[in-house]
Structure 1
Amino acid sequence: MSVLAQLTAALADGSVEVVDLTAPLSETTPVLQLPPPFANTQHFALHELSRYDERGPAWYWNDITTGEHTGTHLDAPIHWATGRDGLDVSAVPPSQLIAPAAVLDASAEAAADPDFLLQIDHVQEWTKTHGPLPDGGWLLYRTGWDTRSGDQEDFLNADDSGPHTPGIAGECARWLAEETGLVGVGVETVGTDAGAAHGFDPPFPCHAHLLGAGKYGLTQLQNLRLLPAQGAVVVVAPLPIVGGSGSPARVLALVER
């Protein structure tokens, strides 16, 4: 039996499960909010063209408006100034869109401290237990933040001092970008950086370091709790927007049960 035939058989009999890591995309999907004078993306919206009526008697369809970085989405290198000479989302090699994943669970730490930052030591301790990070694969950073995704205010968790969401320390972001073979980092929060990352040096270090190194970001993931620490394969399906800095994406994980 061929490898692909084995895979389809495993999918059919349930020995390989497909886990959807994608947040539903609707007008209530939380979006990033930047302070003035910076421009903000718009919420997702459907604009009905016809619904089995005089505008189209046998069909229902819509136009949509949304931002590239709305909901579960992929950040391409060109999204950030450090990656301005890198790939746009249409040029991401298909071979990099299917890759192994390591899942690092810091949900307990984030529950205790919404400003929790992942440090190099945390990742190195994780590898002692679970093995090395996958070359050409993803580090998926679980914080439990997907449980807040039904409410914009709770998801962004902002006060007068700014948003408070967990993320990755600047030195750890640099280390992941420069010292590992990862293809990118995925998170459950609205962006790959912590809520307070505007005050880091450099600001927004996950964007600056990872995208500057030609790697990718995945945001607003869900259901990471259903994945093993090692062994899942992630399938990322962004729209191939020519010149696009990113795209909403359907993100699936294949898990051997």
Structure 2
Amino acid sequence: MPLLRDLLTAVAENRVEIVDLTAPLSPRTPILRLPEPFANTIPFSLEQISRYDEAGPGWYWNNIHTGEHTGTHVDAPVHWVSGKDGADVSRLELRQLVAPAAVLDVSERAAADPDLLVEIDDVRAWESANGPMPAGGWLLLRTGWDERSEDAERFLNADENGPHSPGISAECARWLAEETPVVGLGVETVGTDAGAAHGFEPAFPCHHYFLGAGKLGLTQLRNLARLPATGAVLVVSPLPIVGGSGSPARVYALVER
């Protein structure tokens, strides 16, 4: 297997860097907060089973309590009503989970405007500079929002009018999902939609269009600043939960240096 040997050699020699894009899971991990009357997910927590004690003298282990959509996680098509007949997280194609990445950087604009929306013209400008969106690949939206991820209040950024975080317009979400060859959308924010997307038509258009088209979502990414605009390979590793609408995931990128 010379190709795989070459890859392992390149990793060992730091010619290919492995960049971790995952936010650590802990009770402090920010979670989406829906208004009443909607139900909310639980925060992440550990329940100790034993730790080198009478319940288990030679081992330490825990039960995990968390929602499917906590921290860095994958949205499967079945997560949304528009994709209700689609795949659950256990049936996602592996080629969707190991795929090229295109990084669209709007971090400077998002720093000035937390309600920034990416439009079709922004994606077309990226393509003019970098080439077409990768077939079978991911669009990763860099907004700089990962800088806020250790502070849940700043990360969710809500006031009396609701949350304020950058994202993608409804028109652009439909176009990306239906007219481009990407298989998924990855973001640094708590969900794939902008904070104000509850008021869009349709509501939460990234969920509606991407999952309805059998494509995927990926949220709460970190370190997108360390990726090039093109050329990285994204690796997404969710738990294969049978019937699951999503899963926390370890996500990283392979970057040639």
Structure 1, residues 186-217: CA drift from partner, whole Å, max 9, x if none? Answer: 00000000000000000000000000000000
Partners of 1:139 and 1:22 in 2: CA distance:
16
Partners of 2:177 and 2:49 in 1: CA distance:
44
Q: Which residue of 1 aligns with 2:177?
A: 177
5+ long unaligned stretches in structure 2: none
**Correspondence 1:238 to 2:229:** no
SS in 2 for 1:26: coil
Q: Which residue of 1 aligns with 2:23?
A: 23
**Correspondence 1:41 to 2:38:** no
The 5-angstrom pairing of residues 195-210 of structure 1 reads 195-210=195-210
**Correspondence 1:212 to 2:212:** yes
Partners of 1:103 and 1:236 in 2: CA distance:
16
Q: Which residue of 2 aligns with 1:80?
A: 80
Partners of 1:136 and 1:109 in 2: CA distance:
28
Q: Which residue of 1 aligns with 2:97?
A: 97
Partners of 1:192 and 1:12 in 2: CA distance:
34
Structure 1, residues 109-167: CA drift from partner, whole Å, max 9, x if none? Answer: 10000000000000000111111110000000000000000011110000000000001
Shift of 1:93: 1.1
Identity %: 69
Shift of 1:101: 0.1
Letter in 2 for 1:236: V
The 5-angstrom pairing of residues 59-138 of structure 1 reads 59-138=59-138
SS in 1 for 2:231: strand
Number of residue equivalences:
257
Shift of 1:40: 0.2
Structure 1, residues 43-66: CA drift from partner, whole Å, max 9, x if none? Answer: 000011111111111111100100
Partners of 2:105 and 2:24 in 1: CA distance:
22
Partners of 2:146 and 2:35 in 1: CA distance:
23
Letter in 2 for 1:155: F
**Correspondence 1:58 to 2:55:** no
Partners of 1:67 and 1:145 in 2: CA distance:
22
Q: Which residue of 2 aligns with 1:247?
A: 247
TM-score, normalised with respect to structure 1: 0.99
Partners of 1:96 and 1:123 in 2: CA distance:
21
Partners of 2:84 and 2:109 in 1: CA distance:
34
SS in 2 for 1:174: helix
Superposition CA RMSD, Å: 0.6
Q: Which residue of 2 aligns with 1:5?
A: 5
Letter in 2 for 1:63: N
5+ long unaligned stretches in structure 1: none
Shift of 1:2: 1.1
Partners of 2:95 and 2:171 in 1: CA distance:
29
Q: Which residue of 2 aligns with 1:157?
A: 157
Partners of 2:96 and 2:155 in 1: CA distance:
29
TM-score, normalised with respect to structure 2: 0.99
Q: Which residue of 2 aligns with 1:228?
A: 228
Letter in 2 for 1:242: V
SS in 2 for 1:230: coil
Shift of 1:96: 1.5
Partners of 2:106 and 2:48 in 1: CA distance:
41
Partners of 1:241 and 1:48 in 2: CA distance:
22
Q: Which residue of 1 aligns with 2:141?
A: 141
Shift of 1:95: 1.9
Partners of 1:93 and 1:120 in 2: CA distance:
27
